[in-house]
Amino acid sequence: MTRSRYFFNSSVIRQNLRQHGWIGIIYTLGLLFSLPLQLFMRSYPGAEPQEIDTLFQVGGDLQMLFIISLPAAAGLFLFRYLQSRRASDLWHSLPLRREHLLTAHLASGLGLLLLPVWLTAAVTAMVTPMDGNMYIYQGTDIWNWCLAVSILTLFLFVFSIFVGICTGQTVIQGIIIYILLILPAALIEFVNHHLSMYLYGYPEWFGLSEDRLIWSPLLHLIVLGEEPFSTGELWTYSGLSLLFIVFSYILYRKRSVEKSGQAIAFTYFNPLFKAGVMLCAMLLAGTYFGAVKPHQAGWVLCSHLAGALLGYIAAEMVIRKTWQIMTRKVPLEFAVYGVLLGLLVYIPVSGLTGYEDRVPAAEHITGVYAGSNYRMYNDDSYNGFASSEVAKDSSGNRVPFAGGQQYIEAVRSLHQTLITVRPDYNIAPSEEYNRGGRMFTLAYRLDNGRMVVREYRIPAKGFEPEMKAVMENEDFKRAEYDVQALDAEIESFRLSYRERVVRITDPEDVREFKDILIREKLNMSYEDQNEGQLPIAYIQPIQKPADEEGGSGRVNASVTRNYEWLPSYKKLGNWMEEKGFAEKIRSTAKDVQSAEIIKDDYKGRISPGETYNLELHMSLARQQKLSVVTRDKKVIAGILEHQREYLGKNGMYAAKLEYTDGDTQYVSIDMEGLEPALKSLLP
């Protein structure tokens, strides 16, 4: 009983409740306002109750505001005595051991913070069946909300205590709490930016962690309504809470009373603090200033050096609580930190790791992917991308890897050429990265279960043989154009262009159209994929609805991604004409009121940022009377047949098409077969 009385000293707890009870009151009122009360707040009269997946979707960001702030504030105020010399002397003069004091304060804080959470959950459960509740949820949702908020409240509170024991100033404690809650995700972001800038082929989005939220509870709390914490994350925060409690007891016993008022209470944390601040400053400065002149070694080196110097000065001023930090040992200490951190920053992007030149051996590759849709296949946030609904493979990956030996060799050959030539779009002529230039992801699945992923920006010129070998392979086209999604049961096709819509619903027509579309996609040549064709129409496959399990109703038909009907699809065009669909959807010369034509020779006379502002090119041509407006339907029909996306190249013909419905379109014109007619029109 004596030890129990000491560990849970009632006098200390009563004093904390009298002095800091307002924290519990505000937390209670805040949670009640942001959850139970919001259940009855109608967005508009007559609104129907809304079914939700989690109670974190109620009240917007109000819940997050109180969950983020109040637990940390409780740690700041309950342990503020540690940061004041007089208060610290008073509390530590009591006939209580330090672990007794810590236990009493810890129990007081948990009582002030957890009781409001449980009370809010109980009130939410009681008001669930009441009339006027605008949300539909289950009892398990209340339990999940209560459990998650309790664990997060516990974690933030004990983390605040741990930081308070390690620091000697309340302001520093508050700042460090939130910096450390964001730091892991921010540091990963800095490192990924650094590696992507200086490591050829490094895909920033694939980097150290594809999901930044798991590294920052603070960032995750902000989007908790859309992405609730998983069971594993809650277990992790529970374990971290226990770990911080244990460390708090150990460090509190060793903390000196004289450290009150100091920035860092333990001197052996000073090197870690300096190194951390310097590293973050180096990465931030190097990434920001390096992006301005990424290929000038002197500029990059100076930006990292300046960042390290500013970080060191800031850390020294915080630790010493003065701007007068210059001593004889400062230059030597800065040099030591600078060299060590410089090596830490340089080695990963140097040639020592072999990252940039690594191409997996063909015998170890079980599957390969090349294309621009790698992220879409793996990312659920790309809603409507048909392949996001396909089953994952044994590695949990949705990416359609191909195992054909010919395709593997073609991708490896492209990869080997890229790392040998290393085209740099920052210094190469901009026209090389015009239409036809691509951002490609190359991914290998190896026989040991590992993945090798690289990303390259490939210019339009100089890599035609390697790109042709890859892009004309059937495996590439199936993945790049999501052809496998057409293997699903299609109920109908919806074709649209501008204001026109055509539906293909007859089962036999649907089957024929699908087969022809798949063949056209798989038969596309390298030129077809790179000449900037403008679609005749956009195609939406409508999948057949399936019977709901356990019910008599049918789910709605689902719309997958859009496909394109391109001018090079001759068989599809012939089929559409035979069936009478083409004339209902295709734009003709009758739809165009006029066409203004120029020969584009103005690229060198305007700023690079205006290269694709074709109206500016038109305006310059009008000023020099080098443009012509025609209403000749034969010429307009030829333009519609040979129109392409604007290529931004000098010497090509361009046109501004004015449609009868008031719409305007700018296009380039393929000169083959049309150049004599266009030359005769232009002055």
What is the average per-residue pLDDT within 554-582?
80
Q: How confident is the model at residue 647 (pLDDT cuts 50, 70, 90)?
A: low
Look at residue 54 in the predicted model and tell me its pLDDT: 86
Q: What is the mean pLDDT of the chain?
A: 82
Look at residue 52 in the predicted model and tell me its pLDDT: 84
What is the average per-residue pLDDT within 354-370?
91
Task: Indicate whether 379 pLDDT > 70.
Answer: no
What is the average per-residue pLDDT within 337-354?
88
What is the average per-residue pLDDT within 595-610?
71
Task: Indicate whether 300 pLDDT > 70.
Answer: yes
566 and 533 Cβ atoms separated by less than 8 Å:
yes
Of 559 and 309, the structure prediction assigns the larger pLDDT to 309
217 exposed, middle or buried (CB, 10 Å; 0-12, 13-18, 19+)?
buried
When mean pLDDT is compared across 14-18, 575-579, 602-606, the lowest value belongs to 602-606
What is the average per-residue pLDDT within 152-156?
94
Residues constituting the chain? 683
Look at residue 597 in the predicted model and tell me its pLDDT: 87
196 and 204 Cβ atoms separated by less than 8 Å:
yes
Q: Measure the CA angle with vertex 670, ends 667 and 671; round to 5°.
A: 125
Task: Indicate whether 29 pLDDT > 90.
Answer: yes
Of 257 and 649, the structure prediction assigns the larger pLDDT to 257
Q: How confident is the model at residue 466 (pLDDT cuts 50, 70, 90)?
A: very high
What is the average per-residue pLDDT within 475-485?
89
What is the average per-residue pLDDT within 77-82?
87
Highest mean pLDDT among 91-100, 246-255, 596-605: 246-255
Task: Indicate whether 549 pLDDT > 60.
Answer: no
Task: Indicate whether 394 pLDDT > 50.
Answer: no
Look at residue 294 in the predicted model and tell me its pLDDT: 63
Q: How confident is the model at residue 391 (pLDDT cuts 50, 70, 90)?
A: very low
Look at residue 407 in the predicted model and tell me its pLDDT: 93
When mean pLDDT is compared across 11-20, 242-251, 358-367, the lowest value belongs to 11-20
Give a three-class secondary structure readout of 317-335.
HHHHCCCCCCCCHHHHHHH
At 422 the three-state DSSP class reads coil
Look at residue 340 in the predicted model and tell me its pLDDT: 92
Task: Indicate whether 193 pLDDT > 90.
Answer: no
Look at residue 661 in the predicted model and tell me its pLDDT: 84
Task: Indicate whether 474 pLDDT > 80.
Answer: yes
When mean pLDDT is compared across 225-229, 287-291, 335-339, 642-646, the lowest value belongs to 287-291
27 and 70 Cβ atoms separated by less than 8 Å:
yes
Please report the DSSP string for 573-635 in residue order. Answer: HHHHHHHT-HHHHS--GGGEEEEEEEE---GGGS-GGGTT-HHHHHHHHHHTT-EEEE--HHH
Look at residue 675 in the predicted model and tell me its pLDDT: 61
Look at residue 406 in the predicted model and tell me its pLDDT: 93
Task: Indicate whether 125 pLDDT > 50.
Answer: yes
CA distance 564 to 550: 37
Task: Indicate whether 646 pLDDT > 80.
Answer: no
171 exposed, middle or buried (CB, 10 Å; 0-12, 13-18, 19+)?
exposed
When mean pLDDT is compared across 157-161, 536-540, 544-548, the lowest value belongs to 544-548
* Percent of the chain at pLDDT exceeding 70: 84
* pLDDT, tens digit (0-9, with 9 covering 90-100), for 440-460: 899 999 998 888 999 998 887
Of 4 and 109, the structure prediction assigns the larger pLDDT to 109
Look at residue 385 in the predicted model and tell me its pLDDT: 43
What is the average per-residue pLDDT within 140-165?
93
